[in-house]
Amino acid sequence: MPNSYHIRQATSTDLPVLMQLAEATWGPTYQSILSKEQLYYMFGVIYSRESLEEQMRQGQTFLLLENEGVPVGFASFSVKDAQANLYKLNKIYLLPQEQGKGSGKVLLQAVEDRVKKLGARTLDLNVNRHNPAKGFYEHCGYQVHQQEDIPIGPYWMNDFVMRKAL
């Protein structure tokens, strides 16, 4: 990991930072995939302070990526199936200006390392079927495992579930 990057586990005191990062990354990530109405609705459902607090209470671990002390991205993961030693990468977002510099690989590797230490044999993630990030995940060793359509309010997320054996 380059010396300028530091990854630490986020706590509830970091919620404002997570919310700022989400706001800066959500639109650029999904504006070409989702309608403005769906973007606005889903962002409110997933990234309100209350929702993030609940996600932490329900067992999501959030990692904060800093570059020279400045927060530039975050990821979260949780157990998906304890008996199968299956974990899920719930979120991974980088500021647009940070993308393409290797920081996504650094953050993804940190998640993989953490879940392996917790006993994971497999890591799943969801990616929208129209999201170009699918190519990044494939490059990192993930393969499409299945497709799923997830209702969020009146909208749908049309995703690939991608999987990697650890």
What CATH number does residue 120 fall under? 3.40.630.30
> In whole angstroms, what is the distance from residue 98 CA to residue 73 CA?
8
> From the CB of residue 114, how many other CB atoms can be counted at a distance below 10 Å?
17
Backbone dihedral angles phi then psi of residue 86, each to the nearest 5 degrees: -105, 125
CA gap 5, 107 in Å, rounded: 9
The pLDDT, as a whole number, for residue 3 is 60
Per the CB < 8 A criterion, the answer to whether 123 and 103 are in contact is no
Residues of the chain with pLDDT under 50: 1
Domain that holds residue 27: 5-165
For the chain, the domain total comes to: 1
Residue 72: closest CA among 98, 54, 46, 47: 98
**Backbone Cα Rg of the chain:** 15
67/39 Cα distance (integer angstroms)? 27
- For residue 9, the model assigns a pLDDT of 98
pLDDT for res 4: 87
- Rounded CA separation 82/9 (Å): 21
> How far is 45 from 153, CA to CA, in rounded Å?
9
